[in-house]
Amino acid sequence: MKHNEQEITDTAKYYLNRRTQCTTTTTFRYVKSFINGKTLDIGMGTGEYLEMLPAGSIGLDVSEENISIVKEKGLEAIRADINQALPFNNGSFQTVFCSHIIEHIDSPLHLLREAHRIISYEGHIILAVPLEKTVVRLFKDRYFKDHTGHLYGLSVECMERLLEHAGFRCIEKYFNFPLLNRYRFFERCLQAASNNFWQYFCTMYWIVARKK
């Protein structure tokens, strides 16, 4: 799919000529079992997650460079501005995957409603969302301040509310504890508790929801 510059929103123009490396996280292992069938990777960057998705999955991105890199890997990718209507028919995918994207777009709710439209009945949406105001961010880095493309800081409660408004039912949440990557037993114990309080000690979280 081709767009001329007039058709792309101002927000998306920021990424037109950018190569966006997709950094995978160890906590991806928790959500992988929810990824079934044909999957759309929204904002796939250079395709690191797309490579791990089921055969026949498709990546979506506005960056020509990202598209070229992903196609060189032998994967399918389409160029589109995700601030607009997604270029797929209703029920085209069983799963929608979206890592570190929703905080960059004009309207998170619009994207979630579009995802709901293209997901088949009882399919899943899987989101990875960075956290802005946490203890880890305070002492570890300037992640949000140094990323001018970030428009939103979305708490777990906020994402749950947005997903409900878009027609999804939240079913699982997983938190990324960077200080516990080497201590899998303790990390698994915290994940089992599934308490939103953990978000204040993390860098990001995964949230899984099912189409109602």
Contacts of 4 (CB under 8 A, 6+ apart): none
Domain locations in the chain as residue ranges: 5-211
Phi, psi (deg, nearest 5) at residue 159: -65, -40
Q: Tell me if the domain spanning 5-211 has CATH number 3.40.50.150.
A: yes
- Pairwise CA distance, residues 104 & 169, whole Å: 23
Q: Is the pTM of this model over 0.85?
A: yes
Full pLDDT tens readout for the chain, 212 residues: 444 444 889 998 888 888 888 788 889 999 999 999 999 999 999 999 999 999 999 999 999 999 999 999 999 999 999 999 999 999 999 999 999 999 999 999 999 999 999 999 999 999 999 987 776 666 666 566 666 777 888 999 999 999 999 999 999 999 988 766 666 777 887 777 767 888 888 888 999 999 99
Contact between 44 and 26 (Cβ < 8 Å): no
